[in-house]
Amino acid sequence: MTFENYTLQNGIRVIHGRTNSPVAYSSVMVNAGTRDETEHEHGLAHFIEHVLFKGTKRRKAYHINSRLEDVGGELNAYTTKEETVIHSTFLKEDYHRAIELMYDIMFRSNFPEKELVKEKDVVLDEINSYKDAPSELIFDDFEELLYPNHPFGRNILGAKKHIKRFSRNDIFSFMDRCYNTDQMVFCSIGNIPFTRVVKLAERYFGSVSANLRKVSRLPIEPSLPIIKEVRKRTYQQHCIIGCRAYDLHDPKRVAMYLLNNVLGGPGQNSRLNLALRERTGYAYNVESSYTPYSDTGVFSIYFGSDKSNFERSLEMLHNELNILRNKKLGVQQLAKAKRQLIGQLAISAENSESLMLSVARSYLFYNSVESFKEVNAKIERITADDLLRIANENFDPHSLTTLIYK
């Protein structure tokens, strides 16, 4: 798929890929997330994502929810450490409806007081629900260990004491500071000419006054690895092990993706899944992940097991890391690993919504989008020596932070 791009005078970037499908996808992605919060704003980025849907100068919450649903479409949003995203799915003939709605939500929300009160209760309930899921909560607690005393280490949902105090002024202040037009991308995939997309983007997003980013993000400071155990009333013991890893601009990130896929990626044939689940039955869920950000990255391994099998599971996990640090992949192993990752990426690209969000993020941080062919070429250039080097840089047991729920 070929993508065309255009930049509005206010700095908002537009990127579009044309397809033959009757279904279209679009998103507005902002380079603003939980790492941009001050301490008293903890949870504000996520709270704003919720209340953007609660009323604008021309629509009430019901009308926002109905605008696309009435024609079979969908409207959703999410918040990460570095991004806030509104995205929609709709029939191609409803492009105008979708773009106007996203513009209205992003730039004309008025955050009615009564809606803020209700949505605070919703978010507080979301936090309570999250605390009941140790397999999810442990990831937030782990990142707090990786990034102590830094907003990057704070969980996305926020702290109850702060959420209860959020006001309309807090929302407008954060958006004015962080929702900068030169840090926004409007991305779409659908059967519509690019000229039509640009015309609609100019009509709506082009009417927004320029608001360029003036402040820099708080830099990431060094930290030491630690081992921490927390008492929890759970049937299983949960464990997460990992470290800071390569950022979005590090050329080693592609090899890190490949190595992570070999170790504990989504395939049932990953080394950790074979060791802890298929061969021994010690763990129902074991996985590793690598997430790069603008100036840092997170690598982690998670597993949960019965308390009687925990120590043996932990030993087997470290054994797999040790093998990757000391033994190069064979020629056939490496070729198989590359083919698997390339296949996974190709299949993922068939999901147009997933592709659209991936393209938006790429354009947001790189101002470009690599073709499938270019990505494949990078994967094919990775050598066994590259993977061995990266394993030693990231899997040294003395450099890993460990968090255990007992």
Whose tokens are 């021994």? That residue is: 280
What are the distances in angstroms from CA 181 to CA 13, 32, 79, 111, 176?
Answer: 8, 11, 18, 20, 10
Closest CA to 207 of 1, 10, 5: 10
Question: With DSSP H G I counted as helix, E B as strand and the rest as coil, what are the percentages for the chain, rounded to 5?
Answer: 50, 20, 30
Domains of the chain: 3-207 (3.30.830.10), 227-405 (3.30.830.10)
pLDDT of residue 130: 87
- The enclosing H or E element of 284 equals strand 283-292
Q: β-strands 283-292, 184-190: how paired?
A: unpaired
pLDDT of residue 131: 86
Note the pLDDT of residue 255.
98
Residues in the chain with pLDDT values less than 50:
none
- The half-sphere exposure of 349 on its side-chain side, counting CA atoms within 13 A, is 17
What is the signed CA dihedral for 255, 256, 258, 264, rounded to 10 degrees? 160
Report the alpha-carbon distance of residue 241 to residue 229 in Å, rounded.
12
Residues 142-189: pLDDT tens digits? Answer: 999 999 999 999 999 999 999 999 999 999 999 999 999 999 999 999
Residues in contact with 324: Cβ distance below 8 Å, sequence separation at least 6, in sequence order: 259, 262, 263, 271, 387, 388, 391, 395
pLDDT (0 to 100) of residue 234: 86
Both tokens of 243, joined, read 């470290």
At residue 1, the pLDDT reads: 85
* pLDDT at res. 191: 97
Do 195 and 368 touch, CB atoms closer than 8 A?
no
pLDDT in the model for residue 75: 97
Q: How far apart are CA 20 and CA 29, in angstroms?
A: 24
